[in-house]
Chain A
Amino acid sequence: MTTLDIVMVIVRVSISAFVPLCFLAVCVTMERRVAGFVQDRSGPNRAGIYGFRAGGLVQNLADGIKLAFKEDIISEHVEHKFLYVLAPIISMAAAIISFALIPFADTLVLDGKAYVMQGIPWDTGILWFLAVTGFSVYGIILAGWSSTNKYSLLGALRSASQVISYEIPMGLAVISLLIVYGSINLSDIARFQGQNWLGFIPMWGIFLQPLAAVIFIVAAFAECNRTPFDLAEGESELVAGFHLEYSAMKFAVFFMGEYVAMFASSAVIVTLFFGGYNIPFFSTDFLIRNIKPVAFVMLVILPVFMFYFAKWIRRNNRSQYPRENDPREAEATVYIRCFWILIGVIEVFLLAILAFAQPDTAAAHLLVALMQICTFLLKVTLMLFVYVWVRWTIPRFRYDQLQILGWQKLLPLALLNIFVTGAIVVALG
């Protein structure tokens, strides 16, 4: 192993392990602020460090510190303390490793060696995701059972049976996709979606398999125990569901595990149906061959984008009431300057690439990989927004409605989809 190999291993593993954790802050902030905006209120925007509120991000820090320093209580009536502590660990670990096989950029070629941009460069892809998300059931069951609390137990029963029954339509929806893509390797699937159809429609899963997309997304919502399927924590009936007895950091781990699972399933949805890391209409080869025009376009677009972004910050980051020497406007100025400095640094790099880099060199490959990582994360963020958006739109299903939807609607639809897809694929050769 050369130094480059070791560096690449560290980079890939740390991206796949820490990006989901970093996105926790994005998820939680987005959840709260989007909920606020949808309901015409503002959401948490008061917590700040010396007046710097970062649009509500500091609230997460405050909550995190609070949860970390709270007293960690294990009730007297908990008989199986080991299993009780094990439960949040299982659900968090299952969530993190389910992201390990998702490609976040096209295969990176450095020094004539190809590096598959996944946490674990393995070709078992989507089956790994299905296998690992199955383990999250253990976390739920153990938490509900070892809490020795009837509400926890009922919550765990609901949640576990929901996860088990929605795994089936999910797996069947994946099968029809695999017929189309002809591979279970997520890298192959993402590369397949980089092609264009008739020259202008990207060959994304959502266009090739709309029914499978709907079934998979609905099942993914149910797997994450998100609204409209969050019966496990029906506040009016079950208080909080399976994590009712958990406090402090053990609760926080459950909470984080839920959001990491949401991130991982968004990433899978993006990879299967929305082209993964592909920038629409531009294949990796095209970008690498035309690195100079690409760098030039980025060079132009970034300041324009930043100009409007700065205007948006100015407009929204001010006190909405008469106030002399509004400190929030000074705050906005600081943010805008920081962002301009960041843009300036990126511009310098782009200029360097424009001046020195030749097509098909390491610099070109790295720039394209970075652009693809950004595209991937942007797509995942949009998918996370859809999760949040659905949560604040749709009311909760009743439990029998949930099971009827899973077994009587999604399952036959998924089976039908497999037959139709198979017939079409065979007919088209």
Chain B
Amino acid sequence: MAAKVKQLPSRGGTPAEKVYLIEIFKGMGITLRHFLRNLWDNSNLYVRHYPEVQPNIPAHWRGRHRLLTHSDGTPKCVACFMCQTNCPANCIMIKAGERTDGITEKMPVSFTIDLAECIYCGYCVEACPEDAIRMDTGIYAFTSSNREEMKIEMDEMLSLKGGYTEEEYQKGLEDE
């Protein structure tokens, strides 16, 4: 398929345009109109007054990670290392251990994500065969004054709840 070429008309050739000043005054007229409108009444600005006014973020927008649990509260994760292998930023560190409750044979002993390294690509969510990790907490802004605090542990991720209902989340995935 050949690339589509759109020929734009070349500007600036006429004598009136070569004097610069006329065109400059036209441009200055446009900016002055914007300036005066906004000076007269600044409620027309195309500005969201963050953080007082929060943006409306769709459900499939990737936020902070959480680990899902079965209905009895045990983690779904089976420590298969799929997410850690897939992670392009190498921010997931899993230590696997034996599982004694009989659901599966393995489970993570520790599951650490370094949020300072994470690039929020979502590959871990896609790679997970057990639907054990999701990025649907709806937490998008978090800061810390030292790097160690940016590493989140398994307990913290298990305790987080999803920011959306299951239907919204599934619909979001379909839209994607």
Known contacts A319-B49, A323-B52, A393-B24; A42/B42 CB under 8 A:
yes
Known contacts A321-B53, A394-B24; A38/B43 CB under 8 A:
no
Taking a contact as CB atoms closer than 8 A, the residue among A39, A214, A315, A323 that contacts B34 in the complex is A39
How many chain A residues sit at the interface, stated as a range, is 20 to 34
Taking a contact as CB atoms closer than 8 A, the residue among B31, B34, B40, B45 that contacts A320 in the complex is B45
Please determine whether B52 and A319 come into contact, CB atoms closer than 8 angstroms. Answer: yes
Q: Per DSSP, are chain B's interface residues mostly helix, strand or loop, or mixed?
A: helix
Contact bitstring A7-41, B, C-beta under 8 A = 1, else 0: 00000000000000000000000000010111111
Residue of B nearest to A33 (CB): B39
Distance between Cα atoms of A314 and B16 in the complex (Å): 44
Residues from chain A with a CB closer than 8 A to the CB of B35 are 34, 37-38, 389
Residues from chain B with a CB closer than 8 A to the CB of A321 are 49, 52-53
How many chain B residues sit at the interface, stated as a range, is 20 to 34
B28 near A: Cβ within 8 Å?
yes
Residues from chain B with a CB closer than 8 A to the CB of A335 are none
Taking a contact as CB atoms closer than 8 A, the residue among A38, A316, A392, A394 that contacts B41 in the complex is A316
Residues from chain A with a CB closer than 8 A to the CB of B49 are 319-321
Distance between Cα atoms of A320 and B32 in the complex (Å): 23
A390 near B: Cβ within 8 Å?
yes
Contact bitstring A320-338, B, C-beta under 8 A = 1, else 0: 1101000000000000000
Taking a contact as CB atoms closer than 8 A, the residue among B31, B42, B43, B45 that contacts A392 in the complex is B31
Known contacts A319-B52, A321-B52, A394-B24; A38/B31 CB under 8 A:
yes
Residues from chain B with a CB closer than 8 A to the CB of A320 are 42-43, 45, 47, 49
Min distance, Cβ A413 to any Cβ of chain B, angstroms: 11
Taking a contact as CB atoms closer than 8 A, the residue among B21, B28, B46 that contacts A40 in the complex is B46
Q: List 7 A-B contacts (CB under 8 A).
A: A39-B34, A40-B45, A41-B47, A42-B47, A214-B21, A321-B52, A321-B53
B interface residues (Cβ-Cβ under 8 A, vs A)? 21, 24, 27-28, 30-32, 34-35, 38-47, 49, 52-53
